[in-house]
Amino acid sequence: MLSPFLFLLIIDWIMRQSIDNQKTGIPWCKDKHLEDLDFADELTLLSQSHDHMQHKTKRLEEFAELTQLRINKDYED
């Protein structure tokens, strides 16, 4: 049971590092932005613009590679 817990810790670290309080997500409350939605091994990044999304995705990929994780670019319904 430790393995899923460690995975979640690593994913949380990756997301915190890649977002780094940039406030590029969707305005949520006063001075707060919704940057991403996470569920198990699924991540959804939220941004106000295409440029913000590009930057956020690039940082996510860079920090994921530090932990030997890769973004799966193949999507199936």
Considering the chain, what percentage of its residues have pLDDT values greater than 90?
22
Whole-number pLDDT of residue 73:
73
The H or E element spanning position 16 is: helix 2-19
**Residue 47 · residue 37 · CB < 8 Å:** no
- Residue 62 clears pLDDT 90, i.e. is over it: yes
pLDDT, mean of residues 33-54: 87
User: What's the pLDDT band for 54 if we cut at 50, 70, 90?
Assistant: very high
Q: What is the pLDDT of residue 63?
A: 92
Mean pLDDT in residue range 31-50: 85
* 1, pLDDT greater than 70: no
Strand intervals (E) in 1-77: 26-29, 32-34, 36-39, 42-45
Domain ranges of the chain: 26-67
